[in-house]
């Protein structure tokens, strides 16, 4: 198993259950691991057979900026679904951090693990 990762991707979105949380956009931090196979990329030393980190970050950012759900869980699931649709990954682990949401903590958040559904 090979893994592509992104740590600490900062996105800004409106998220939260309470009205006061939704008054202003707030930063979230995203950590992601995508399981894939590097064999084709390594064999040809060809970036066209690799997962483009910038493209992954762009998808995550677009979803965070446009969906604006109430729950981190909902946002995480939307990101996972989009990544499976657009990239050759068979499993992923995604963490969404919400800094400053609870006094006395650095951040709170959710972690999900998903595998591509067989069709």
Tokens 């709170």 belong to residue: 108
Catalytic residues: 98
Residues 6+ apart with CB under 8 A from 7: 31, 32
Residue 41 host element (H or E): helix 39-44
Cα gap 45→8, rounded to integer Å: 27
Dihedral sign, CA of 43, 44, 46, 49?
negative
């Amino acid at each position: 198993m090979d893994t592509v990762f992104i740590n600490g991707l900062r996105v800004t979105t409106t998220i939260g259950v309470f009205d006061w949380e939704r008054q202003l956009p707030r930063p979230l931090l995203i950590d992601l691991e995508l399981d894939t196979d590097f064999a084709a990329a390594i064999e040809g030393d060809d970036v066209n057979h690799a997962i483009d980190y910038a493209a992954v970050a762009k998808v995550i950012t677009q979803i965070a900026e446009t969906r604006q759900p109430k729950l981190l869980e909902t946002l995480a699931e939307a990101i996972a679904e989009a990544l499976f649709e657009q990239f050759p990954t068979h499993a992923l682990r995604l963490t969404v951090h919400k800094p400053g949401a609870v006094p006395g903590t650095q951040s709170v958040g959710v972690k999900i693990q998903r595998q591509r559904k067989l069709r």
